[in-house]
Structures are given as structure tokens and as C-alpha cells.
Amino acid sequence: MVAGDRFSDENGVRINRLGITDPQQLAQAETDSSLLRLQRLNLQGGIPGGRYDHAHLKQVHQKLFEGVYQWAGETRADREFQGHKPTYVTGFKETMTYAPYKEIEQRLNAIGAQLGQENYLKGLSEEKFAERAAYYLDQYNHTHAFRDGNGRTLQATFVQLGQEAGYQVDFARIDPATLNRARDLAIVRPHAPEEAAKNLQALKAMFEQVISPAPGLEAEKRRNPSQARPLAALSPEMKAMDARRELEVTGYRVMDIVANMPGAGNYEKGVAVGKGVEATNLNLAAIQSHLKQFQQAAEKITKHPALQGPDARQDQTDARRFRVAAEQVQALAVMKESNVEKVLGLPKTHEEAQAVFKQAAEQVALGLREHGKGLDAARLQEVARHVERTPFIGGLNRENVGKSIHAADRIPALSGSSQLSELKSAVGIMEKMPLEQERREASVQSRGTGGIDR
């Protein structure tokens, strides 16, 4: 347990509504409560109308854990927790990293949307259902939306998914260690992208053990091949997520390789690579500062005389994968920046900024209010009324809009939105006095100080 992560008390025990301070007692209480709720939720058929997105998984987590935790239904984003976890699933120490907490909502929504494009896996054979379910469970697991309870949340989610696709999914048919091992293997991705299916083999085999065709005519209809919607291609969002995952898994392996090389300074260089990977994981734009460092680390491994031959084949492969991934992520960062500028049509004049601000402020204020930030929404709307009259933001108005932007930045659903980016861009222009107004004020000041106009 980790102390001070905002989900835990000063002793590292999860904050709970039962007043339990002993971690073993809490673990038992959590198990007893959540398993009973899991059985009940499965019998009820899951979340009615759920779309396997951010809102859906939050509801599942809340229903499973609200008997023990007051933060049931909150994601890691709600209390700004990142975290990582070691595993020895490949026989070596690996670092399992998860999605940046600020991106949890958009990633869950992207996964849910992709799943919807496949008609939620209806119309598939057992073998194909197991294959695609393995893919999606891995994506949800890497997003790792919650501080605790991800495993049971995903079990409930895939029981519902299976039922709606005409299959019974019974995780009690396998040892929990089998599921954990399969999930960890998929997370650390020992195989390169061209062999991506191998990373999911254990998860697919696990699903093949726990699924069976559900009885009844309705279930048979759901399995009918006419219901299938084969996926033509991954969405751009899913492709970007995979590219960034490739950088993470290979980056931490490269970190260990470099840090353990003989020679002065190599340990520090390895640690620096790890810090760069972490920074890029949390903020895509950070790749611009670390790309050269990543390329040099990969080259150092591929050319090191002690890392040649059959015994170093894995190290060489990881180094090449890391370099390719770094360059792909750098391209993503450039594309994102370019698209933002193109899509947003960033304003260049005060008049353009005035129009952009009005529309963006309306959407951001709505989002603030939906997330319980009514005061910040009211501040922003007050500034918007001022901006309708004059394209300049200063003094108290600048202070208020700053507070509203700060509040929006702390809400994952708003922090990366185009509306907030538009708002910031407009403010950046309007906080500078328009040239005409600046000239008028300069003229008034010169007359008032006994200058040339006596």
C-alpha cells in the first residue's frame, strides 16, 4: 500500500467508510462485500444501456465497491494518482505502466467507441470472440481506470459483454493466477508489434476456458454471423494509444539495459531514459525534449560490443523497437500540434479572439458546471459578457478567467479539450491591449503629464 496517494491514509491503508485501519481486515471486508455485489450485478445483466465507456465502467466500480469505499466510482484521475507496478512474468523484472490519469476518460471512451464499431462482439464464433475479448480486456487493463478493483470491474464488464453477445463468461473456471499472468504478459508486450497477437495469446487462451455459448433462442440470435461487424481498421485514437504503449514497455527495458552497462555514467544515463519515458507517458509533447536522448540510448545498445550475438538478441530487439516507437510518438506529437492549430483555427487578431472566446467560454463553462464547479463557471461567463463589449481582458477579468482555466485544467474531461485550448489561445491574445486602445491611452498619458500638448 502507498501512503499519501489521496486514496489512502497516512499509514497507507485505503480510506474506507467502515473505519477499518488494519489492511488485512480491510482486504477481507472488501472481498466479502465486492464479491457479493459482483454476483448480484452479473445476475442483473450488468449496467442497463451501458456502452463500455468511461461512464459505464465508473458505474460498475461504484456498484461493486460503494459498500466499503466512499471513493467507489472515482477513477485515478479524480485524485490524480498515476502509479506503476513491477512484474516478473517474463522471468525478468518488468515495469508495468498505465495510462496517464489525465487521459483515462478519453481513453475509455475511445475503447468503448471502437468496441461499438464491432457491434460489441455480437455474431462471433467462440474462437473469434475470445480473440477480440482478449484485445479489449488488455486495452481496458492498461487504462487501469481505478486505484483498486480494476480486476473485478473488468470481470463484471466482460460478463455483461459476453451475455449481450450470446456467451456465458465465467471467470470462476480458472485460477486467478492464470488471469493475472495473462494480463501482465499483455501489458509488458514481450513481442514486437509485427507479432502483436503473441502478446495476447495467454489472454485469448484464458477466454477460451471461461466462455461457452449461452442457452436460448435470444442468445443464438446474438451469435448469428449476420450480427458481426468486422473491424476494418483501428481508430486513430487507438493507434496512437498503441504507439505510446510501445514506447513505454520498450523504454523501461532500455532504461535497465543502459543502467546496467559497465562504465562511468551509464547508470545515470539509464535513469534519465526512464525519467524521459515517464515524462512522455504523462505528456505527449515531452517527446520533443527527449527524442535525441532516446535515439542515443538505442544506438548505444545496438553498437555496444558486449551486446552482440545470440545472448543479446532480446536487448538488440528492444533497442530497435524503442527507437522506432520514439520516432512514431514524436510524429504523433507533431501531428497533434499541427491538427490543433489547423482544427482550432487559432485566432490572430483581437476581433478573431473575441469570437473564439465567446464560443469556447460557453462550452467550458458548461463543462465546469457539470463537474460541480459552478463558481468557476459563473466567473467565466461574467468575463464572457465583458468580452462581448471589448476584446481586452485585464485586471479582475484576467484573474477570474485564470481561475476558471485552472479549474478546468484539473478536470480530465476538459483539460485536453479543444474548447479549453481555444479559450487559452483567445485569452493569450486579448490579455494584450489592442494597438488602437494602447495608442489612445498613451496619448492621454502624454497630455496629462504636461508633454508636447500644452
DSSP state letter for 8: B
> How many domains are contained in the chain?
3
Looking at residue 355, its amino acid is A
Domain shared by 154 and 64, yes or no: yes
Domain membership of residue 198 (yes or no) is yes
Provide CB contacts within 8 A for 352, sequence distance 6+: 429
pLDDT the model gives residue 338: 64
Q: What is the pTM of this model?
A: 0.75
**Of 344, 361, 376, which closes a domain?**
344
Domain membership of residue 443 (yes or no) is no
How far is it, in rounded angstroms, from Cα 261 to Cα 300?
A: 10
- Assess whether pLDDT exceeds 60 at residue 390: yes
Domain shared by 34 and 81, yes or no: yes
Domain membership of residue 15 (yes or no) is no
Stretch 345-366: mean pLDDT: 83
Supply the CATH number for residue 222's domain.
Answer: 1.10.3290.10
∠222-224-225 over CA atoms, to 5°?
125
C-alpha cell recorded at residue 21? 485501519
pLDDT the model gives residue 346: 61
Domain shared by 225 and 260, yes or no: no
**25-34, 183-192, 401-410: lowest mean pLDDT where?**
401-410
The secondary element (H helix, E strand) that includes residue 158 is helix 150-164
Residues in the chain: 454
H helix runs in 283-373, sequence order: 287-303, 313-344, 350-370
Domain membership of residue 449 (yes or no) is no
pLDDT the model gives residue 414: 76
Domain shared by 389 and 332, yes or no: no
Domain shared by 73 and 204, yes or no: yes
Write the pLDDT tens digit of every residue in 76-116: 999 999 988 999 999 988 989 999 999 999 999 999 999 99
Domain shared by 34 and 176, yes or no: yes
Give the percent of the chain with pLDDT over 70: 92
Stretch 232-252: mean pLDDT: 92
List the domain range (segments joined by +) for residue 44.
23-232
Using only C-alpha atoms, the chain has a radius of gyration, in whole angstroms, of 26
pLDDT the model gives residue 343: 41
